[in-house]
Amino acid sequence: MQHPSPDSLRAVTKPASQSGAGFVFPAPGSRRTGPRWEPYLYLLPALLVFTAFVAVPIAGGVILSLTAWNGISWDTATWVGLGNYVDAFNDSRFWTAFRNNVTLIPYFVLLPAILGLIPAALVHQMKLRGAAIFQAGLFLPYIMPGVLIGVVWRWMLNPVFGPVNQTLKRMGFHPPTWLADFNLALPTIGMIGAWAAYGFCYVVFVAGIEKIPRDLYDAAKLDGAGGWQEFLAVTLPGLRREIAVVLSVNLINALRAFDVIKATTDGGPGDATNVLALFMMNSAFGANQAGYGIAIAVILAIVTLVLSLLVLRLFGGDDD
Amino acid sequence: MIRRTIVYVLLTLGCIAAVLPFVITTLASLKTMPEIIQGVFAWPESPNWDNYREAWVQGRFGRFFVNSTVVAFAVTIPAVFLSAMSGYAFARFEFRGKGVLFGYLLLGLVVPLQALVIPLFYLLRELHLLDSLWALIVPQIAMSMSFGTLLMRQAFLAVPRDVAEAATLDGATSWQSLWGIMFPLSRPMIGTLGLLFFIWTWNEFLLPLVVNIDPAYHTLPVGLLYFQQRWTSNLPLIAAGATIIFIPLVLAFLVFQKQLVKGLTEGALKG
C-alpha cells in the first residue's frame, strides 16, 4: 500500500539475518531476487480486499454502534455515544437472548466433547481395529450447512408426521411437541447442536490420541495403572491441545448460533429460542434500529473473543 | 471381548444416529404425502421423482444450484491464488511491518461474520452491489484471506530450504519460483484449502440471507429456508429440496474424505 521510505529500506535487510538459526537462504527479496518492495506487491491484493470488505465494516460497525440510525437514510443518524450499549443492558429481550446463548453452551460445548472423548479413549485403549470406518459416518453432519440441519430436524421432530414422534407413538408414548414447546424448544436446539458436533469431536480426539507417545502408555502400564488411571494420567493431559480446540470451536458455535435456529424456530415460541445473532438481525433489519443491532453485534464479538481466549488460555496450549 | 463388542455397538449407534436423518430425508423425498404419514421408514411403493422436478423448476432450485456453484468457484479460485501470494510474502521475505500486517490479516480469524454482516450490508448498499452475485463473491474472498494466508504460509515454510534456494540461484525471479516451484510442491495443502473454501462458501447462509433479497440471486441454503416457509406442509417437496443440497456434499465428502477430515480438524481453529 504505502511505499517504504529509504530509511525503512535499510531496515528491511536487517531482520533477515536473524530469522532463525542456520537459515542461510539469501535474505529473500533483497539482493538477488528483486526489488525490496516486492513482498508488498504480493500482499497488496489480499490486503486491499480484506481491508475493504472486512476491516472497514468492522471499524464502520464500531462507529455506527455509537449512533442512533434507522439504517435507511444517512441524515437520520445521530451520535448517542454509548447509548446503545446502555440500552442493551437495560433491555430484557437482550438479556433473554444472552441467557439463551449461555444455556446452549453445555449442549453445544460439553456434551459433544464428552460424547466424542469417551469412545475415542475406549477405541484406543482396547486397540480396536477397523474403527476408522466409523469416522466417515460420524463426521458427516459436521460438513452440512446449518440451515439444512435445521430443516431436516424440523421435519424429524414434526409433532404429527415426524419420524421421532411416529416412532414414539407406536411404542405407546405421548411424545412432546419439541420445538413448539416453550420449555423444551431451547434444549431441543441444544441437542441438535450436540448431534451436529459429536462426530467432529470424536475425529479430533482420535487423531490427537494417536500423537501421544506410546512410551507414556507403557510407563503407565509399568506403574500398574488401570484403564481409568491411564486415561486420567496419560490420555487426558496428552489431549490438552485438542480439548482446547474442540471446546473453543464449539463455544464459538454456541455463541454465534443462528442458522439452525433460523430454520427451526426463528426464535420462538415467544422468545424461547431467541439468541444474540437473531436478536441483532431483527433489531437492525426488522425494527430499523441499525445502530442498536450493530451494538449487539459488537457485544457478541467481544464476548466470543474473550471467552474463546479464556478457554485457550485455560488449557494452556501454545497457539499453532 | 464383551467390552469390545459394547464399544463397537456404541460406535455403530453413534454412526447410525449421525447418518439416519439424512437417509430418512432422502427416502421421504421419493414418497408421496400419504406414504409419509403411513410410515417413515417404509420403502416408497414406486419412487416419486415428481418431487425433484417440482423443487427444481417451481421451487427454482435449478437457479439456486447454478448460483451456488458459480459463487463457490468464483470465491475458491481467486481466494486460493491470493492466499498463495500473501502466504508467500510472509514465508519467504523479511520486510518492515511484517508482524503487524500478519496480525492485521489474522484479525479475520477472531471476528465472527455475525459481527460485521450488518455494516457490510450498508457498505454493499453504498456500492450498489446488493442483489447480485458480487455481493456474495467479493466479501467471501475477503473473509477467506485470514485462514488462507495462515495456511499457505505454513505450506511454503514446509518446503525444504534448498529446494526453494535452488530456484533463486538459477536466476529465477521470486514470481517464477512461486508459481513454478513452491505452488506445485504445495499441491496437497492447496487442494485441502480449495476444498475448505468451496464447502464454506457452499454452506454460507447468513451473508446471502442478508445481502440478496431478490430470489434470482439466492443460493441453495437461503433458497431452502424460503422454500420451507412457503411449502410448510409439503414434506416430500421440502425433503427433495434438502436432498438436492446434501447429495453434492456427500459425494464431495466420499471422494475427498481424508483431505476434508484432516483439513477441517486441523483448520478447526478458524473462528
SS (H, E, C) chain B: CHHHHHHHHHHHHHHHHHHHHHHHHHHHHCCCHHHHHHCCCCCCCCCCCHHHHHHHHCCCHHHHHHHHHHHHHHHHHHHHHHHHHHHHHHHHCCCCCHHHHHHHHHHHHHCCHHHHHHHHHHHHHHCCCCCCCHHHHHHHHHHHHHHHHHHHHHHHHCCCHHHHHHHHHCCCCHHHHHHHHHHHHCHHHHHHHHHHHHHHHHHCCHHHHHHCCCHHHCCHHHHHHHHHHHCCCCHHHHHHHHHHHHHHHHHHHHHHHHHHHHHHHHHHHCC
Residue A320 has pLDDT above 50, yes or no: no
Residue to substitute from B93, B120, B183, interface A, most A β-carbons within 10 A: B93
For residues A179-201, give the mean pLDDT.
94
The pLDDT, as a whole number, for residue B3 is 82
Give the pLDDT band of residue A41 (cuts 50, 70, 90): very high
Residues of A with CB below 8 A from B14's CB? 115, 119, 134, 138, 198-199, 202
Residue A143 has pLDDT above 80, yes or no: yes
B266 Cβ contact list (under 8 Å, min separation 6)? none
The nearest alpha carbon in chain A to B42 belongs to A163
The pLDDT, as a whole number, for residue A11 is 36
Question: Do B132 and B165 share a domain, yes or no?
Answer: yes
Question: Do B153 and B23 share a domain, yes or no?
Answer: no
Give the pLDDT band of residue A19 (cuts 50, 70, 90): very low
Question: Do B25 and B136 share a domain, yes or no?
Answer: no
Question: Do B119 and B219 share a domain, yes or no?
Answer: yes
Question: Do B83 and B116 share a domain, yes or no?
Answer: yes
Any chain A CB within 8 A of the CB of B249?
yes
Q: What is the CATH number of domain A87-314?
A: 1.10.3720.10
Q: Which range (A116-125, A219-228, B60-69) has the least confidence?
A: A219-228
Through-space distance between the first and last CA atoms of chain B, rounded to whole angstroms: 42
Number of domains in chain B: 2
Q: Is residue B7 part of a domain?
A: yes
Question: Do B117 and B166 share a domain, yes or no?
Answer: yes
Range of the domain at B44: 1-48
Nearest to A259 by CA among B243, B146, B224: B224
Q: Which range (A41-55, B163-177, B200-214) has the least confidence?
A: B163-177
Question: Do B125 and B232 share a domain, yes or no?
Answer: yes
The pLDDT, as a whole number, for residue A5 is 36
For residues A45-69, give the mean pLDDT.
95
Q: Hey, are the CB atoms on A25 and B146 less than 8 Å from each other?
A: no
Residue B270 has pLDDT above 50, yes or no: no
Any chain B CB within 8 A of the CB of A13?
yes
Question: Do B76 and B24 share a domain, yes or no?
Answer: no
Q: Is residue B215 part of a domain?
A: yes
Question: Do B113 and B212 share a domain, yes or no?
Answer: yes
Question: Do B126 and B178 share a domain, yes or no?
Answer: yes
Q: Hey, are the CB atoms on A198 and B14 less than 8 Å from each other?
A: yes
Supply the pTM of this predicted model.
0.87
Q: Is residue B55 part of a domain?
A: no
The pLDDT, as a whole number, for residue A6 is 36
For residues A110-125, give the mean pLDDT.
92
Residue A25 has pLDDT above 70, yes or no: no
Residue to substitute from B5, B11, B192, interface A, most A β-carbons within 10 A: B11
The pLDDT, as a whole number, for residue A77 is 85
The pLDDT, as a whole number, for residue A97 is 96
Give the pLDDT band of residue A316 (cuts 50, 70, 90): low
Question: Do B4 and B119 share a domain, yes or no?
Answer: no
Question: Residue A67: which H helix or E strand, with range?
Answer: strand A67-68
Nearest to B95 by CA among A55, A19, A320, A50: A19
Q: Between B25, B115, B205, which is nearest A147 by CB?
A: B205
Question: Do B68 and B43 share a domain, yes or no?
Answer: no
Q: Is residue B44 part of a domain?
A: yes
Q: What residue segments make up the domains of chain A, in order of their start?
A: 24-85, 87-314
Q: pLDDT per residue over A243-260, tens digit each?
A: 988 998 899 999 999 999
The pLDDT, as a whole number, for residue A268 is 83
d(CA A142, CA A201): 10
The pLDDT, as a whole number, for residue A28 is 46
**ipTM for the complex?**
0.91
Which residues of chain A from 14 to 53 reach within 8 Å of chain B, CB to CB?
15-16, 19, 23-30, 32-34, 36, 38-40, 42-43, 45-47, 49-50, 52-53
Residue A15 has pLDDT above 70, yes or no: no
3-state secondary structure of A292: helix
Mean pLDDT of chain B: 88
Q: To 10 degrees, what angle do helices A92-105 and A185-210 make? A: 40
Q: Hey, are the CB atoms on B239 and A143 less than 8 Å from each other?
A: no
The pLDDT, as a whole number, for residue A34 is 62
Residue A26 has pLDDT above 70, yes or no: no
Any chain A CB within 8 A of the CB of B23?
no
CATH number at residue B79: 1.10.3720.10
Q: pLDDT per residue over B74-111, tens digit each?
A: 999 999 999 999 999 999 889 999 999 999 998 888 88
